[in-house]
Amino acid sequence: MKAQPYICLPHFGMWLAAAEKELKRGYPDFYREVSEPVYACFDSLREDISWFCKKFDYRYDAEPWGNAKDAPDRAGKFLCGDLHKPIK
């Protein structure tokens, strides 16, 4: 999983369901390895979405967008499984 920075939630669920059936004893190690990048991506998106929302508050108007400008699009792709499609 080190080469794969993240996977979308639908594929994460499919991988976990298949691993639970097939791996038995190896499942906890598999879960730990696969969930790490998913949770890291989720945390990053959560922070970006939070900042995106704050940017609509006049107090944060002068602050830079950072990675938050396309956060809703990225969050949708992460949740729906469209990570491979480019953001328009």
Tokens of 74: 């990225």
The predicted pLDDT at position 47 comes to 97
What is the pTM (predicted TM-score) of this model? Answer: 0.77
User: Which position has the higher pLDDT, 85 or 56?
Assistant: 56
71: pLDDT strictly greater than 90:
yes
Encode pLDDT of 43-65 as tens digits.
Answer: 999 999 999 999 999 999 999 99
DSSP string, 5-54: ----HHHHHHHHHHHHHHTGGGHHHHHHHHHHHHHHHHHHHHHHHHHHHH
Encode pLDDT of 17-52 as tens digits.
Answer: 999 999 989 999 999 999 998 999 999 999 999 999
User: Mapping DSSP to helix (H, G, I), strand (E, B) and coil, where does residue 70 land?
Assistant: coil
The predicted pLDDT at position 51 comes to 97
When pLDDT is averaged across residues 53-80 and rounded to a whole number, the result is 94
The predicted pLDDT at position 8 comes to 85
